[in-house]
Amino acid sequence: MTRSEDHSTVQVETDGRVLAEADVRLGGEPGVVVSAMHVESGHLPLGVRARLVDAVLALPLVGSAERLVASVPIGDAEMLDRMRERSGEMRTHYAGATTIVEARLIPRPR
Domain range enclosing 34: 2-105
**What does pTM read for this prediction?**
0.90
d(CA 87, CA 30): 18
Evaluate whether residue 53 is within a structural domain. yes
Evaluate whether residue 110 is within a structural domain. no
Give the chain's domain count.
1
Encode pLDDT of 5-23 as tens digits. Answer: 789 999 999 889 999 999 9
CATH code where residue 7 lies: 3.40.630.30
What pLDDT is recorded for position 55? 96
Tell me whether residue 8 is exposed, middle or buried, using C-beta atoms within 10 angstroms of its C-beta: 0 to 12, 13 to 18, 19 or more. buried
